[in-house]
Structure formats: C-alpha cells, structure tokens
Structure 1
Amino acid sequence: MSTRTAVVTGASSGIGEATARQLAKQGYHVYVGARRVDRLEQLAAEIGGTALALDVTDEESVRAFTDAVERCDVLVNNAGGAKGLAPVLEADLDDWRWMWETNVLGTLRLTKALLPKLIDSGDGLIVTVTSVAAFSVYDGGSGYTSAKHAQGVLHRTLRGELLGKPVRLTEIAPGAVETEFSLVRFGGDAERAANVYKGIDPLVAQDIAEIIGFVASRPPHVDLDTIVVKPRDQAESGRFARRG
C-alpha cells in the first residue's frame, strides 16, 4: 500500500469526523473508528475511507481495530469526553472511571498498538487532541481536568521516548468547541449544553480539523509540538466574554 494512511478515533461526529474529511481531502486513506458504526459507514463512503467499529475502552475492540489497519502514517487520538460537572465532594466514581478509561487509557491503547506501524512508516505522526483542561483546572471539573492532564502527560512523555525515531508528536489543546461534547457531558440535556456556548462565538470542529491538516502537511523535520487554540471570546477554561 503506497497511499499514506491516517487513523482517526472518535470519528462519528465533531472534531473526529471533520478531521477525517480534512485528511481525506489531503490524499490520505482514512481509517475511521468509533462505536456508532452506522455514522462511520456513511462517512467512509463519502470520503473513500474504511469504517471500523472501535470502543477505545475495550481491549478486544482495540486489538481488532488495530489489526485491521495495514499501515499507519498518522494517528489522531481524538476519542474522549467529559461526564458531569460535580465538585469533588459529590464526585461520581463511575463518571471518573469513564473519563479516565476513554481519555487516558484509550489513548494509551491505540498509541501502544499502532506505534510499531507508525515507526515503520518512516514518517509517522501522532496527534493527540487534549484540551485547555490539560493545562488548567476549574471548579466542578476535577474528573475531566485530571484525565486531560494525564492524557497530555502520556503524549508529552512520548516526545522523549521516541526521540531519534521517525515519529513526530503534536498535542492540540482546544478551548470551547461547539460539538456534541457538552451534550454528552450533561447526559443529553440540550438546553444546558447550549448554555455553555451562549453569548460567545465558539470554535467549530472544522477549525480544529484544519489545524490537524496543517500539522500533517509539514515536512518530516518539522514538529509542531503543542498548539493551544481558543475562541477569541475565551481566556482561561471558564472565563468568557459573553454578549447579551
């Protein structure tokens, strides 16, 4: 297989879907993975990619997915998310487990499994989508921010461990991006999710996808290490200039 290939996790919606479209536009054959296979199959048909069921919290699912990937030049660790906004005193341990399994161990499973193929490609790239929550904290966000801090540390540790290998690493830390993120966080409460973005102009999935596309288009000697991107209306994690 001579065509360069990319793997995008969490590709059934939002940043993952937009990234898969962007990389396909740039000539990659894209393997898209997520649990919602119906959405994946439609996406793969539109971009000429390959849809594969993937649950990053399940070892067998990850093994089946990565075994089916013949070659990997780019890995985009995008699967993740938040659940709840409870203070530490009221923390839901099941929510914490889900956030750590999805954001941290999910990234570990995919990266570990595909690293040999990324190295063998001769010019591999690992893009991990973390969050501004990987660099700061906010009230009620300890479960998510701790998971994103850990995910970021996992990714950054690889920068040293892979030094001298033909693999580049880029961490992309977005601020407020209007996707299904808040809808998942608040258990499908559409009104509460919409209020997160009320009065601001948030980022959209395509903004992040275009950045990932730019990173993937750099020559092999250029490593864009860490990219923090926020809406103009956002300063820190919970600090916004809201209108109206």
Structure 2
Amino acid sequence: MTPIAIVTGASSGIGAATARRLAAEGFHVVAAARRGDRLADLVDSIRDNGGAATAVTCDVTDDESVAGLVQAVGGLAQQADLPGRVTLLVNNAGGARGLDPVESAPVADWRWMYEVNVLGTLRVTQALLPALTASGAGTVVVIGSTAGQVVYEGGGGYTAAKHGQTALTETLRLELCGRPVRVVEIDPGMVRTDEFSVNRFGGNTARADAVYAGVAEPLVADDIADCVAWCATRPQHVNVDRLVVRPLAQAAQHKVHRVLPG
C-alpha cells in the first residue's frame, strides 16, 4: 500500500521542497497550505516527474479548515484504497514576524507567531493522530528551529513560539510512548528561502538580504527536505528525537562567519 504523507505550509520554501522529495521517495503527498494556486503548480510539477500528490487548501490557524484537511485525507485514502496508511505528518507551517525588542514589539505579531507555529502544529497533529496511529507505523515530524533552543535580541516573539513548539513536541513524544507513532523534531539554523525573511520584515527585501549578507552557503530548502526524508525513511523502530542542522558558516545562533566586500 502506498504511504500517505501530509505536509503543511507546502506552497513554498521548505514545505514545497519536502513535498517534492517525499513524492520522489514513494509517498502520496497531500500538500496543504493557504495559497491554492501555488499548491496546484506544485502538484502539477510532482506529477510531471512521476510522483503522486494532492493539493488541499488549508489554514492551520482555523479549526474548520483543518477539519477539511482531515476529511480530504480520509477521502483520498478510501478513493486510493489506502485505508489506515496515513503514515507521515510534516508540521512545517510556521513563520516569523518582526525583529523588535520585547519592550516595543507589537502584541499582534507575537500572537500570530504563536498561533501559526504552536497552535497550528497542535491542531493538525491532534486531527491526524488517529489515522497515524491506525497505520501502525506513523511518524510526526515537526519543523522547529534553532530559535527553539537559544534566544537572541530582537527575536523574543519568534523564539518564544519556537520554544513552545519544542515543548509541545517533547511532551507529545512522552505521551505517545508505547503507541506506534514516532515524533521527530528537525531544527534548522540559517536557511535561505524565497519568503521566510522577506515575510518577517514585511516585504523589505533589503532587510531580508542583510540576514544572509556575506554567508557564502546558507542552507536551502532542499537541505531540510533531505533531513525530513532521511528521518522518515529510517526503520520504524528508529526515532530521531531531534536533528539540529546548520550551515558550516554558522557555529551557533550568534556565531556566523561572513565575508563582506571591502
């Protein structure tokens, strides 16, 4: 039976790269995100390369939208004669807003980051756990961040959300002990994608580019997709609790080698 993988935040960046990679690994990928037009293009490209994929428009901050995702996944399983084979969930939807100090950061930005990174992961995981458990060989992957391990100035809202996501992940692993579901956390450092930093700075491309200035080879989305695929395809008795991955130029959150002109 073909295993089904659900990837949230699949319309761009790490999510899109992960969807493509998992399809190449033999999964039927359910690509979920808010932007249906981008999902359609992604699914078409996967199918053009011989993979199997289905697009589902979903907002992880909305209960009814997540319920619709679960319904679509259930319908796919029945249509494809794959009952009980929802084996992988990749909680990738997330993001950052702003780089303001705690004393002046907009509360709305903090609320949005918590809603997407923490409660979005909670909603989707709760909704799909019954199917993952029924498969007898389920895996939940949470795309966290090194910001979930270390704080930095200006990053209070994002690091708080990512610390919360890490706490959720570690607690879930404890609570599922004895059930056939693995829980994996992947924490990337500097990953250059088309949208993450641009979105963080409200479309200010100059501020976004400055994040990676002088860094010869930051990670890219395909690097994280490779990590997801590796963790998900280990033998089921192998649980990679946490995988921290940074570019060579980044020794720690605050230590980055940059070569600047002049």
* TM-score normalised over the length of structure 1: 0.98
Alignment of 1:62-141 (within 5 A): 62-70=66-74, 71-141=85-155
* TM-score normalised over the length of structure 2: 0.91
CA deviations over 1:200-235 (Å, ceiling 9, x no partner): 120000000011111111111111110000011112
Residue 238 (structure 1) shift: 3.2
Which residue number in structure 1 is paired with residue 183 of structure 2? 169
Is the counterpart of residue 233 in structure 1 residue 232 in structure 2?
no
User: For the residues of structure 2 that align with 1:205 and 1:143, how far apart are their CA atoms?
Assistant: 23
Alignment of 1:18-29 (within 5 A): 18-29=17-28
User: For the residues of structure 2 that align with 1:34 and 1:239, how far apart are their CA atoms?
Assistant: 33
Match for 2:25: what amino acid? Q
Q: Which structure: larger Rg?
A: 2
Range moving further from structure 2, 133-142 or 63-72: 63-72
Residue 191 (structure 1) shift: 1.1
User: For the residues of structure 1 that align with 2:20 and 2:7, how far apart are their CA atoms?
Assistant: 10
Residue 138 (structure 1) shift: 0.2
Which residue number in structure 1 is paired with residue 57 of structure 2? 53
Which residue number in structure 2 is paired with residue 206 of structure 1? 222
CA deviations over 1:132-156 (Å, ceiling 9, x no partner): 0000000010000000000011011
Q: CA RMSD in A?
A: 0.8
Match for 2:71: what amino acid? D
Gaps of 5+ in 2: 47-51, 75-84
Match for 1:55: what amino acid? D
Residue 20 (structure 1) shift: 0.3
User: For the residues of structure 2 that align with 1:25 and 1:106, how far apart are their CA atoms?
Assistant: 26
Residue 68 (structure 1) shift: 1.1
Match for 2:66: what amino acid? V
Range moving further from structure 2, 62-71 or 91-100: 62-71
User: For the residues of structure 1 that align with 2:187 and 2:153, how far apart are their CA atoms?
Assistant: 19
CA deviations over 1:107-157 (Å, ceiling 9, x no partner): 000000000000001100000000000000000100000000000110110
Gaps of 5+ in 1: none
1:189 counterpart (204, 208, 219) = 204
**3-state SS of 1:69 partner:** helix
**Number of equivalences:** 243
User: For the residues of structure 1 that align with 2:167 and 2:17, how far apart are their CA atoms?
Assistant: 25
Residue 236 (structure 1) shift: 2.2
User: For the residues of structure 2 that align with 1:68 and 1:156, how far apart are their CA atoms?
Assistant: 28
User: For the residues of structure 2 that align with 1:150 and 1:72, how far apart are their CA atoms?
Assistant: 26
Which residue number in structure 1 is paired with residue 81 of structure 2? none
User: For the residues of structure 1 that align with 2:238 and 2:53, how far apart are their CA atoms?
Assistant: 27
Identity of aligned residues (%): 56
